[in-house]
Amino acid sequence: MNATSRKPVHLAVYDTLADWEPGFATAYLARGGYEIRTAGASAARPVTSIGALRVVPDLALDAVHPEDSSLLILPGADLWDTSDDLAPFARKAREFLAAGVPVAAICGATAGLAREGLLDDRDHTSAVSSYLAATGYGGGRRYVEADAVTDRGLVTAGPTEPVAFAREILRLLGVYEGEVLDAWYRLFHDSDAEAYAVLEKATAGR
């Protein structure tokens, strides 16, 4: 698929979003030719991240449709655990998965998906198993102790694993594969200097 035929990736944005969590993914998706479009509860109201970044959404969540998207990314945010304000984003994730379009959730967003019932029948991970268990969800038997997990179009990761989260997304959308993806991960996760040469050689023609 060439860059011009790729559908955008939609990044959900909301107050208290953990701005560091999707950064590796969005940066390298953009470098790989994907347009990143931000989606908020309203396109008219800016949101403020935990890091005090002010983001004006490109479009409202209601205007985001699976058929127009390659992926929905849901970052963590304090609001996932302190209110029901972000429940519409979890419902949008259900819509995406039902349509066969992938979703990637990290940190608090995994709890939102657990409350929505989306983790009951998929392998998944999060910060710790007890964090999701506190939601009362029915998927505890499917919890995996791993840095990031992909199952049937759903990527999950805990708050300390933004690089592993990005690795799963880049694999899922075919941005990097095989030894190139492995080199990318080793460079950014392990600071493996030898991986840089592999990645530089593989991406020189891009």
> Does residue 49 carry a catalytic annotation?
no
Helix, strand, coil: what percent of the chain each, to 5? 40, 15, 40
Cα 160 to chain center, whole Å?
13
> Catalytic one among 18, 61, 101, 107?
107
Q: Which amino acid is located at 96 in the chain?
A: F
Buried b (16+ CB within 10 A) or exposed e, 75-99: bbbebbbeeeebeebbebbeebbee
Residue 174 gets the label, from left (phi > 0), alpha (psi -120 to 50) or beta, of left
Q: DSSP letter string over 131-145?
A: HHHTTT-S-GGGB--
In order of 3, 28, 33, 186, the CA distances from 183 in angstroms are 23, 14, 20, 5
Supply the residues annotated as catalytic: 107
